[in-house]
Amino acid sequence: MRDAEKDMQVCEAATDGPWHTQTDGRYSLAIVSIPEQEVICFTDSFGAGVHDGRLIAEARTALPYWIRRADAAEAEVVRLKKSLHFLMTAVKAGYRAGYIDGDGFGDELMEEIKKITV
């Protein structure tokens, strides 16, 4: 299992991005920072090396982006679960008190609530 906080620390400790690839000689591909043009590393400029280089360069900005998106999504799930728990409690109380019943709707609603794990 990955640790997003540690992964983010690795990203923040690296040379600032974005990075890109540029040909460096006949058989070499450099991954460099923008705009400083600081060379991060080299890979082959043919075969899988081209794709490896692009992955390394793109990951510099993509990984922090997706970590932040995942963190925000997880926070939203927590918020929605709290709201759902509140609503479930209110519906159960209304059902028990007889306020929710019309034409079996309350029974159907309670069956659906039983399926929810919060």
Q: What is the pLDDT of residue 70?
A: 97
Q: What is the pLDDT of residues 41-98, one digit of tens each?
A: 999 999 999 999 999 999 999 999 999 999 999 999 999 999 988 888 888 888 777 7
CA atoms within 13 A on the CB side of 26: 0
**Residue ranges in 1-47 assigned as alpha helix (H):** 4-13
Q: Is the peptide bond before 64 cis (omega within 30 degrees of 0)?
A: no
Rounded to the nearest 10 degrees, the angle between the axes of helix 48-96 and helix 105-115 is 140
Q: How much is the mean pLDDT over the chain?
A: 89
Measured distance CA(31)–CA(40) in Å, rounded: 5
For the cut 70, the answer to whether the pLDDT of residue 7 exceeds it is yes
Q: Which residues of 91-101 are buried (b: 16+ CB within 10 A; e: fewer)?
A: beeebeeeebe
Query: Residue 31 — very low, low, confident or very high, per pLDDT cuts 50/70/90?
Result: very high
